[in-house]
Amino acid sequence: MRIGTFLLFDHRVPFLPALVILLMCCAFFEETVASKNPYYEACNEPSPCGNVSVKYPFWTQSDFCKRKLSTGVIVAIIIAAISVTVVLFLILRCFLRKRHGFKQHKNGKAYDIKTAEATQFDFAAIQAATNNFSADNKLGNGGFGVVYKGRFQDGQDVAVKRLFRRSAQGTAEFKNEVEVVAKLQHRNLVRLLGFCMEGEEKILVFEYMPNRSLDYFLFDSEKRGLLDWPRRYSIVSEIAQGMLYLHEYSRLRIIHRDLKSGNIHLDANMNPKISDFGMARIVGVDQAQGTASKIAGTLGYMPPEYVRAGHFSVKSDVYSFGLLVLEIISGKKNRSFSHPDNDEGLPSYAWKHWTDGRPMEVLDPILRDSCTRNEVIRCIHMSLLCVQQNPADRPTMSTIDNMLKNYAVTLRDPQPPAFGIYGPSIIEDDSNERAPSANKVTITELEPR
């Protein structure tokens, strides 16, 4: 839009709008004074514009120079014009931010993060909280970044997940995790407090879990003694409640796709909380499955239909849950499990003892004095139902939760679990898998959901 020879709002002249408004205010003021003051005298002084012809929107050069104003009036007009410009700029800026959400551009590509449930932290504040990401504050490595312990100035302890730089996977996972986790509120889910996205830095801030992850205790010869049977049974029940919330009761229906012992964190009272939603998928309320073009998940926890054809569903999480429960019962890792009579993994080992009528052989030996036999057998039975090869045969999380709470529910006989479903052609070794996770291989998706 042009006014005379001025180009309004030209980005090359940042203060031009204020100047135009100033001139318009001057003209308006002069016309008002002239119309109301009969003693207002014309000015015969030379034009301040000289011989330069300047075109104004509503007045001529001679009109502009006919009258003179006091210094105080001119200063007041300048201040008013600048104030109006600043206010209008701030209003416009707030409107655009609210309409389009928080957007950062990197290499010409925009990453939108639209959530009101999480706080956006300054990088400097996070840097100070982690003592400049000190190695002493390091909690572990994840598939897409490093996790540090942090403490803000108000004394609040947090877990800071700093994603690796220049990682397309990390950016997609970051955006996914912020938008998904920020909307989830359940006592058995790790709570996202906020995020930071400045330049190449992509950071997630979670509530701090002082007892780290479940695998840290479960697969350690000394620490696993802290997990007696009542505690393990409670952990199984609470994980089931968290998964039930994701599948049926949250505002979004979430398929986690990476449920494992390394992604179960323990609070100060050893209560479990599900974490790491970077690979999670949101599906419709009336939708229970989908198809992925590339495999994402952890080797040993993925169901056969997902590995073979990319089909995932709520029953995929059920399969992973069944494997997780077998690990909790036995104290053994799934993929690294070995036995002289069977090298096909934990599900086949449990199935063999189940069919032989010796299910208690699956139990971790240190639990024999603290366990309840019926609870152990029922949990093994439930786990075998979860790891059946046909997804239609597996129970839902609602049914599983009912199995754990109501012993009047009769469990049907399980079918054999899937064997030999992992081919080497689909495996990608990820040396960045978070320690001390039991699973050293993670297969990741290379495109955003």
> pLDDT digit string (tens) for 381-435?
999 999 999 999 999 999 999 999 999 999 999 999 976 434 333 333 333 333 3
Q: Which residues are catalytic?
A: 258
CA distance 426 to 423: 6
Binding-site annotation: residue ranges for ATP: 161
Residues with pLDDT less than 50, the chain: 1-15, 39-45, 47, 49, 52-59, 61, 64-65, 98-110, 342, 420-449
Looking at residue 64, what is its pLDDT?
46
130: phi then psi, degrees, rounded to nearest 5: -100, 10
User: 279: which strand partners?
Assistant: none
What is the pLDDT, as a whole number, of residue 334?
86
Binding residue ranges: 161
Nearest CA-CA partner of 243 in 325, 173, 307: 325
Gap between the terminal Cα atoms of the chain: 42
The pLDDT of residue 73: 74
Angle of helix 229-244 versus helix 397-405 axis, rounded to 10:
150
**Contact criterion met (CB below 8 Å) for 326 and 362:** yes
Separation between Cα atoms, residue 399 and residue 176, nearest integer Å: 29
pTM of the complete model: 0.68
pLDDT given for residue 68 in this prediction: 55
What kind of fold does domain 109-207 have according to CATH? Answer: Phosphorylase Kinase; domain 1 (3.30.200)
Percent share of the chain, pLDDT over 70:
65
pLDDT at position 361 is 96
Contacts with 428 (C-beta within 8 Å, 6 or more apart), sequence order: 441, 443, 444
Distances (CA, A) of 112 to 100, 115, 171, 273, 447: 8, 10, 11, 27, 16
- The closest alpha carbon to 226, from 208, 241, 236, 211, belongs to 211
Query: Identity (one letter) of the amino acid at 29?
Result: F
What is the DSSP secondary structure assignment for residue 192, as one 8-state letter? E
pLDDT in tens, 293-318: 566 667 778 888 877 767 888 999 99
Give me the pLDDT at residue 412, please.
Answer: 95
Q: Where in the chain is the domain with CATH 1.10.510.10?
A: 214-443
Nearest partner of 118 among 178, 185, 201, judged by Cα:
178
CATH 3.30.200.20 residue ranges of the chain are 109-207
Cα(289)–Cα(286) distance, integer angstroms = 10
- Which CATH code is given to the segment(s) 214-443? 1.10.510.10
Sequence-ordered list of residues with C-beta below 8 angstroms from that of 367, at least 6 positions apart, any chain: 228, 229, 232, 331, 376
